[in-house]
Homo-oligomer: A and B are copies of this chain.
Amino acid sequence: MSNHPFSEESSVVAAEASSEALFGKRVSIEQVEEGHDLAPKFDAAGLIPCVTTDFASGEVLMVAVMNREALAKTIETGEAHYWSRSRQQLWHKGATSGLVQKVVEMRIDDDQDCVWLRVEIAGGASCHVGYRSCFYRKVPVGAERARHTALEFTEHEKTFDPKAVYGDAPNPTQL
């Protein structure tokens, strides 16, 4: 709201204090693997990967990353927040498209360096290309590969029109 440097500084301090209160220190392998404390590990870039599945179908919708703030906001609000690497900013999923992800359940893995969100989405779609899931193509493996090698579409119709939803916003896909 204000551009005064003290305001920015205190909001950063507040965000850090908030995530400090949420996240425990990593003390021992036993505590991390078998304990009841949330003590997530962020990588050298300060990020933790997150898999998001549809609560009803179990389908993997997307894989993204969170920084401390995104993980804290997801826990506090119950709505999925990620860190956008292409835009280098906090990403409240659905803020543009309206397809907010409501977290039904959050899980953390054994060594606490990965998060799993089970979500419900109004409209059911998640992918910026317009499909329900980002994983709309199958790769033939093993014996199947002998018959054909081309990717196979698992969704044949888009759930929404990306042009109508995102307009001229730059496509996040990078070559």
> A: which residues have CB within 8 A of B?
26-29, 32-38, 41, 49, 51, 53, 57-60, 62-63, 74-78, 103, 105-111, 114-116, 127-129, 131, 134-143, 145, 149-152, 154, 171-175
**Contact A106 B28, beta carbon cutoff 8 Å:** no
Task: Report the nearest B residue to A25, measured CB to CB.
Answer: B175
Task: Report the nearest B residue to A102, measured CB to CB.
Answer: B142
What is the bound-complex CA distance between A58 and B51, given in angstroms?
13
Task: Report the nearest B residue to A115, measured CB to CB.
Answer: B139
Given A108-B137, A110-B129, A36:B142 Cβ within 8 A: no
**Contact A175 B77, beta carbon cutoff 8 Å:** no
Interface of A is mostly: loop
Q: Which residues from chain B contact A137 at a C-beta distance below 8 Å?
A: 36, 107-108
**Contact B134 A109, beta carbon cutoff 8 Å:** yes
Given A138-B106, A141-B75, A174:B111 Cβ within 8 A: yes
Given A129-B110, A136-B110, A141:B74 Cβ within 8 A: yes
A73 to chain B, nearest CB (A): 10
Q: Which residues from chain B contact A145 at a C-beta distance below 8 Å?
A: 75-76
**Contact A63 B78, beta carbon cutoff 8 Å:** no
What is the bound-complex CA distance between A174 and B129, given in angstroms?
37
